[in-house]
Amino acid sequence: MEQCYREEAVKIRRILHTIPEEGWQEVRTTVFLIRVLEQYGYQLQYGKEIHGVRYGVPDQKVYEKLHERNKDVYEERFEDVFQGYTGVIAQLDTGREGEAVAFRFDLDGLAVSECSGKEHMPSREGFASQYPGSMHACGHDGHMAVGIALAHWVMVHKEELKGRFVFIFQPAEEGVRGAKSMLTSGRFPHIDRLFAMHIGLGMETGKIGVGTRGFLGSEHMNLYFHGQPSHSGNAPEEGKNALLAAATAALAIHSLTQYRAGIARANVGIMHAGTGHNVVPGEAVLGVNLRADQEEILSDLHRRVEETVKGAAQMFENQTELEMIGVSACYDHVNEAFAAQAEKVLKDAGFAVERDPVFGASEDVTMLMRQVEEDGGEALHLMIGAELAGNHHSGSFDFDESALALALDAYEVLIRYYAAVR
* Nearest-CB residue for Zn ion: 138
Cβ atoms of 273 and 243 within 8 Å: the answer is: yes
Bridging pattern class, strands 217-226 and 283-292? antiparallel
138 or 382: whose CB is closer to Zn ion?
A: 138
Bridging pattern class, strands 100-106 and 88-93? unpaired
230 or 366: whose CB is closer to Zn ion?
A: 366
Separation of alpha carbons 421 and 97, rounded Å? 10
Q: Among 33, 138, 150, 388, which residue sits at the site for Zn ion (rule: CB under 5 A)?
A: 138
172 or 249: whose CB is closer to Zn ion?
A: 172
Separation of alpha carbons 418 and 191, rounded Å? 13
138 or 243: whose CB is closer to Zn ion?
A: 138
Stretch that binds Zn ion, among 40-48, 130-138, 203-211, 295-303 (CB under 5 A): 130-138
Q: How far is the CB of 140 from Zn ion (least distance, A)?
A: 6
Q: Which residues contact 269 (CB under 8 A, 6 or more apart)?
A: 287, 288, 289
* CA 219 remoteness from chain centre: 13
The count of chain residues that interact with Zn ion, using the rule CB under 5 A, is 1
Bridging pattern class, strands 279-280 and 230-231? antiparallel
Q: How far is the CB of 108 from Zn ion (least distance, A)?
A: 8
34 or 138: whose CB is closer to Zn ion?
A: 138
174 or 283: whose CB is closer to Zn ion?
A: 174
Stretch that binds Zn ion, among 32-40, 62-70, 132-140, 247-255 (CB under 5 A): 132-140
Q: How far is the CB of 26 from Zn ion (least distance, A)?
A: 14
Q: How far is the CB of 256 from Zn ion (least distance, A)?
A: 26
Stretch that binds Zn ion, among 63-71, 137-145, 297-305, 371-379 (CB under 5 A): 137-145
Q: How far is the CB of 265 from Zn ion (least distance, A)?
A: 17
Cβ atoms of 214 and 359 within 8 Å: the answer is: yes
User: Which of 191, 186, 188 lies closest to 373 in space, CA to CA?
Assistant: 191
Stretch that binds Zn ion, among 85-93, 135-143, 208-216, 307-315 (CB under 5 A): 135-143
User: Which of 100, 104, 82 lies closest to 169 in space, CA to CA?
Assistant: 104
Q: Which residues contact 336 (CB under 8 A, 6 or more apart)?
A: none
Which spans of this chain sit near Zn ion (rule: CB under 5 A)? 138
